[in-house]
Copies of this chain bind each other. A is one copy, B any other.
Amino acid sequence: MKARVHVTLKQGVLDPQGRAIHQALETLGFEGVEDVRQGKYIELDLAETDAAKAEALVREICATLLANPVIESYTVSLQD
């Protein structure tokens, strides 16, 4: 089973990577981009085949290692 995790900065937290991309796009002449936010995307291949157990495992992994809960939030989605 495959899990897809998105880790993003919470609303209101400064996102220097997103701001750098935004400025680079303006420098390159791209118009009509109002805001940019960058996050992390992680794919996990799991041996677990039970969706509920897999989601519980991935949420524990996120809380322990992948996300900083002070400034980041995360979403988990599963695929067979």
CB distance from A50 to the nearest CB of B (A): 11
Cβ of A28 within 8 Å of any chain B Cβ, yes or no, is: yes
Q: Mark A13-56, 1 if CB is under 8 A from B, else 0.
A: 00000100100110010111111111111111111100000000
- Partner of A41 from the list B40, B44, B61 (CB cut-off 8 Å) is B40
Cβ of A70 within 8 Å of any chain B Cβ, yes or no, is: no
Chain A residues within 8 Å of chain B by Cβ, number: 33
Q: Are A33 and B21 in contact (CB under 8 A)?
A: no
Cβ of A79 within 8 Å of any chain B Cβ, yes or no, is: no
Closest 6 CB pairs of A and B: A41-B41, A35-B45, A32-B47, A34-B45, A39-B41, A37-B43
